[in-house]
Structure 1
Amino acid sequence: MPPKLYYLPVVLAIVLTGVVGFQLGRAAPPSEGDVIERWAAEYVAWAGADAKATDCFAMPGGGEVWIVITCVPKAPQQTITYAVMRDGNLAQPGKMSIKSDA
């Protein structure tokens, strides 16, 4: 066997390690902060000019719900709640809980 082929297993192991590391890094779930920021931004886009991301707070969920994000504007006519799963998506897509005091 030529001497260059002795390095082939080492090169293949390095390449395989790189591919596996890349796949694991890509599949990592979002952090709590990332999820809260994302849904707070959704709230601001939905609620309009007076809304701020600081109107939102998060609490632990239960079951399939990982985090419950509640956004309350300064004049709380409407409160919006997002039930978010571990992957960062809504537990029930298309459904947000909007409570109105009117």
Structure 2
Amino acid sequence: MPRWMLFVPVMALVAAVAGIGLMLGGRSVGTTETEVIERFAVRYLAEAGAGATRSDCAARPAQSEGLWLVVACDLRGGARFEYFVDAYGRLAHANRLERQS
């Protein structure tokens, strides 16, 4: 067996790890706050139903480790929807809080 064939599996592993790192880095860098807010505003509109508007939603920095943003949407006279977003723009947790009168 030629000596160079011993290094083929190592080179393949290095290439795979580099590809995964570039993919995850590209997702992290490519996702903007505006895109995240828009995505969760659309989700809020679907969940809240009648009376919900995009302008009900705003974002703030998350206080928890591993989270990036909290998108909070207040339905006028109704519930409060909160979407906790991780560094890749994915939903980590969602809350729906009912207001008590």
**Pairwise same-fold verdict (TM > 0.5):** yes
- The Cα offsets for residues 60-94 of structure 1, whole Å up to 9 and x where unpaired, read as 0131110001100122x2101000001111123xx
Distance 1:47 1:59 in 2: 20
Q: CA–CA distance in 2 between the matches of 1:28 and 1:97? A: 25
CA distance in 1, matches of 2:82, 2:98: 12
The percent of aligned pairs where both chains have the same amino acid is 32
Give unpaired runs (5+ residues) of structure 2: 1-18
In structure 1, runs of 5+ residues without a counterpart are 1-19
Which residue of the partner structure matches residue 76 of structure 2? 74
Counterpart residue identity of residue 68, structure 1: V
Runs of 4+ in 1 over 3 A off after TM superposition: none
Radius of gyration: which is bigger?
1
Task: Summarize the alignment of residues 54-73 of structure 1 with structure 2, pairs less than 5 Å apart.
Answer: 54-62=55-63, 63-73=65-75
- In 1, distance between residues paired with 2:91 and 2:97? 17
Separation in 2 of the partners of 1:58 and 1:28?
20
- Give the Å deviation of 1:28: 3.5
Q: TM-score, normalised by structure 1?
A: 0.66
Structure 2 residue 35 is matched with structure 1 residue 34 = yes
Which is richer in strand?
2
Aligned residues: 76
CA RMSD of aligned residues (A): 2.0
Which residue of structure 2 aligns with residue 52 of structure 1? Answer: 53
Q: TM-score normalised to the size of structure 2?
A: 0.66
Corresponding residue SS for 2:90: coil
